[in-house]
Amino acid sequence: MADRKWIVVTDTAGPIGFCLSIISNTTLLFLIFSRSSPIKGPYKKMLIVLCIFTVFYSFVEIMLQPLIHLYDDTLFLIQRKRPQYVGYFGGCYFYYWLALILSLATSWGLTAAFMFPQTNRTTESFLYVIETSYDLDPYWADYVAYKYFDTDENHVRHINILSFFGVLQHGLVISLSFGTLFYCGVQTYVNIKKHTGMSEKTRSLQLQLFRALVAQTCLPMFMMYIPIGFMFSCPYFDLQLGAVTNYQTVMAQLYPGIDPFVVLYLIDAYRRIILNSICPRFLYKKILRKTVSQPDVSMFSVSVKPSISSNGLTSTSRMS
């Protein structure tokens, strides 16, 4: 596939992921706030925050629409500028945007700004990539260059120490994020095992929530963590993927829309509501089959009614 076709792929995946994110997250929020929602307590609050953040992330992703390219031992994160929005990122607006970024995001951004500087070599490579691969105007594009190796005057390559520590910082942030998810998942499973005296209904709900938590841990692992880790490690193994690296852009665009469907599917109450809304006849047939497979034992019960006769107290049996 030609490199510039990745622009079409990312421009198509962006709106699809955005629409999926809006539909799935608003549906999940509606069900969470409904009276019939079985989810209560801290997990409910966590899902609400997650939905709101995911929608915000989708807005950022659809607005930025970045490109990723691996060339000349350098991982380029390319941003196509929107001239009509440039004014919102200059002057005092710039400080407003900085104030919205949390500590981890700030450390990530500062690392990208100061530990991956633009040099004459990276600018030359960037201009070559942006013009030959994507046919974009360099004036309306900018980049962050993850320069892994430098070449001295003797044409000997050596590791760029500044970039090495920058990538290490990114790896620590990713590891902290994934480690938190993994730790919370293990602790949830341990607590469920401890509470053996809970009712069957409560235990069933807890297991549903645990499965949803496991799925929400595995999904970003395969769509975000592993692909990003592979992407950052490619230059160290001399893997020049070129425009194929944009697979991570596509994954990042689709992930916010797919993630809420995990909860909507694994929580029985939510799944029944959605199926009943989409196809009520299907749900009715399913309930009917379950009813037929479990015959009513009252049809075969025997009732005993006392009666008084001339011979004393007798009983008459009647088959229901």
What are the pLDDT digits (tens) for 230-278? 888 888 887 888 888 888 888 888 888 898 888 888 888 888 888 887 7
Lowest mean pLDDT among 114-128, 169-183, 297-311: 297-311
> How far apart are the C-alpha atoms of 38 and 214, rounded to whole Å?
18
- State the average pLDDT for the chain: 76
Lowest mean pLDDT among 94-103, 185-194, 214-223: 94-103
* Averaged pLDDT for residues 5-29: 88
pLDDT for the residue 319: 43
136: number of Cβ within 10 Å: 17
* 198, pLDDT greater than 80: no
pLDDT for the residue 38: 81
* Averaged pLDDT for residues 182-205: 72
Winning range, highest mean pLDDT, from 6-20, 185-199, 265-279: 6-20
Residue 168 located in a structural domain? yes
Look at 83 and 226; give whichever has higher pLDDT.
226
* 175, pLDDT greater than 80: yes
CATH of the domain at 40: 1.20.1070
Residue 230 located in a structural domain? yes
Q: Tell me the pairing of strands 149-151 and 67-71.
A: unpaired
* Averaged pLDDT for residues 83-101: 66
Q: Which domain holds residue 234?
A: 5-280
Longest dimension (CA), the chain: 125
Look at 90 and 144; give whichever has higher pLDDT.
144
For the chain, what percent of residues have pLDDT higher than 90? 2
Look at 118 and 85; give whichever has higher pLDDT.
118
- Report, in angstroms and rounded to the nearest whole number, the Rg of the chain calculated over CA atoms: 29
Please give the tally of structural domains in the chain: 1
Are 50 and 121 a contacting pair, CB within 8 Å?
Answer: no
Residue 113 located in a structural domain? yes
Q: Tell me the pairing of strands 67-71 and 74-80.
A: antiparallel
Look at 286 and 67; give whichever has higher pLDDT.
67
Look at 4 and 295; give whichever has higher pLDDT.
4
Q: Tell me the pairing of strands 312-319 and 74-80.
A: unpaired
- Please, which pLDDT band fits residue 84 given cuts at 50, 70 and 90? low
Which pair of tokens denotes residue 296?
Answer: 């009513």
Per the document, the length of the chain is 320
pLDDT for the residue 19: 92
In terms of pTM, does the model score above 0.75?
no
- Please, which pLDDT band fits residue 304 given cuts at 50, 70 and 90? very low
Give me the phi and psi of 304, to 5 degrees please: -115, 125
Which pair of tokens denotes residue 160?
Answer: 């760029």
- Please report, for residues 39, 200, 201, 207, 269, the alpha-carbon distance to residue 204 in angstroms, rounded to integers and kept in the order given: 12, 6, 5, 5, 11
CA atoms within 13 A on the CB side of 7: 12
* 6, pLDDT greater than 70: yes
Residue 223 located in a structural domain? yes
Residue 317 located in a structural domain? no
Residue 256 located in a structural domain? yes
* Averaged pLDDT for residues 28-35: 86
Give me the phi and psi of 197, to 5 degrees please: -90, 0
Buried b / exposed e along 210-240 (16+ C-beta atoms within 10 A): bebbbebbeebeebbbebbbebbebbeeeee
